[in-house]
Amino acid sequence: MAAVKASALFSACVRLGDQAGRIIRNVWNSRSLNTFDKSYDNPCTAADLGSQKIISATLLRYFPGLQIIGEETIEINENDSVEIEPEPLELFSSSDRDLDIQRITIWIDPLDGTKNFVMGDLEGVTTLIGVAYDENPIFGVIHQPFGENCPSYFGGVDVGVWYKTSSNISQFIPSLSNDFSIASSRLHKSAQGNALLEFLHPDQVIYADGCGFKSILVLRGQASIYLVDSPFTSKWDICPSVAIMRSLNGYSVDLNGNSYRFDKETSKANSNGIIITLNQSHLNRIIEGWRNFDRSKL
C-alpha cells in the first residue's frame, strides 16, 4: 500500500488551517472580495477560492494521490501550493501510524460562513479541514481567522484535542454546559426549525452562524447542543467536528441518532440533520423529541 504518516498529514492540516486563515484575512483587508453567486443565496468569494486552492494544492504536493473533496470546485496546480514545515508537530509523535492513502478522504470547507463574511460579520467565519479513514473521521481542524490570536481547535481519537493560537499550543479541555441550550442557525431559519425549537422547550436558543463556530460554542460550553433539522449542511461542514467530538467521547449524529459516513463514495449532504453535543442525556432528549415531533402540519 502507499502509506502516509498520520503525524505528517495531521500536522500539515493544522498548518494549512493557519495558511488559509491568512488568505482569508488578506482578502478581507483588501476589500476585493470578488463575490459571485454559485446558486441562489449561495455566495462565493476570492477568499473561498484562495483558501481552497492553497489547502488542496499543498496537500497534493506533499501527499500525491490523496482524495480531496472540497466545497469549491476549482482547478489547481503546484504553483498554488506553499512550503510547509516538513517536521510533524511533536504532540502527534506518540500516536503515529501508517495510513493507506487510498483509504483517506479529506473534507474541506475553505471558508465556512461565506454569507457572514460578505456582510462583514466575521465572528463565525472558520476554515474546516477533516480527515476521514474509510468512513470514519479521525482528525479535524477548526480554524478561526478572525478570532483573538487566530485560534485553531484540532484533534482526533488517537491524538486528543488541542487549542492553538499564534503563540501557543495547549491541550484543550472542554467546558460542559449544564442547561439545555441549543445553538441554531441565524440566517437559515425555517418554519420546521422554528416549530421544532418551540417543541423541544430549550432553556435558551443561541442563534449563530457557521457550522464550525456553532461546534466551538458546544466545545466551550456556551451551548449544550448544535442542532440542524434540515439537509442544508454538507459533510465538509461537520467532518472536523465529528472527529473532535469523538475524541472527547461526545456525539455527532443525525436526528435519529445514526452516524454519517465520510468515505469518498458517500453523499455530500447531511440529509437527516445534525446533533452535536457532549451531553448524552441532551442527545437522547433531542432524538426522542424529533421522534415525537409532528411534522405533518408544516
Q: Do 167 and 84 fall into the same domain?
A: yes
All residues at 6 or more sequence positions from 268 whose CB lies less than 8 Å from its CB, including other chains: 69, 234, 235, 236
For the ranges 184-193, 230-239, 283-292, which has the lowest average pLDDT? 184-193
Residues 31 and 156 grouped into a single domain: yes
Q: Is 135 annotated as belonging to a binding site?
A: no
d(CA 70, CA 282) in angstroms, rounded, equals 31
109 is in an annotated binding site: yes
Does 196 have pLDDT greater than 80? Answer: yes
Domain that holds residue 92: 3-171
Is the domain of 100 the same as that of 165? yes
Based on the domain organization, do 136 and 154 belong to the same domain? yes
Confidence of residue 295 (pLDDT cuts 50, 70, 90): confident
Residue 282 zone, left/alpha/beta (φ > 0; ψ -120 to 50; rest): alpha
CATH at 251: 3.40.190.80
Q: How confident is the model at residue 217 (pLDDT cuts 50, 70, 90)?
A: very high
How many distinct structural domains can be found in the chain? 2
Has 72 been labeled as part of a binding site? no
Whether residue 190 is predicted with pLDDT greater than 80 in this model: the reply is yes
Helix (H, G, I), strand (E, B) or coil at 265: coil
Q: Let me know if residue 148 belongs to a domain.
A: yes
Tell whether 31 and 130 lie within a shared domain: yes
CA distance 137 to 242: 6
| Together in a domain, 140 and 26 | yes
Instruction: Tell me the percentage of the chain whose pLDDT exceeds 70.
Output: 99
Does the annotation list 237 as a binding residue?
yes
150 and 39 within one domain: yes
The answer to whether the Cα torsion of 225, 226, 230, 234 is positive or negative is negative
297 found inside a domain? no
User: Left if phi > 0, otherwise alpha if psi is -120 to 50, otherwise beta: which for 242?
Assistant: alpha
In a domain, 298, yes or no: no
State pTM to two decimals: 0.96
pLDDT at 296 exceeding the cut of 90: no
**96-134 per-position pLDDT tens digit:** 899 999 999 999 999 999 999 999 999 999 999 999 999
Q: Is residue 176 part of a domain?
A: no
pLDDT value of position 130:
98
Strands (E), the chain: 3-5, 36-39, 42-44, 67-70, 98-100, 104-112, 126-133, 136-143, 152-156, 160-164, 169-171, 181-185, 204-208, 225-228, 251-253, 274-277
Residue 71 forms part of a structural domain: yes
To the question of whether residue 111 is assigned a binding role by annotation, the answer is yes
Instruction: Indicate whether 223 and 129 sit together in one domain.
Output: no
Residues 6 or more apart in contact with residue 189 via CB below 8 angstroms: none
CA distances from 81 to 16, 109, 129 (A): 10, 17, 16
**Are 165 and 18 contained in the same domain?**
yes
Task: Give the end of a domain, one of 142, 171, 200.
Answer: 171
232 and 93 share a domain? no
Tell me how far apart the alpha carbons of residues 231 and 239 are, in angstroms, rounded to a whole number.
15
CA-wise closest residue to 3 among 97, 95, 87, 89: 97
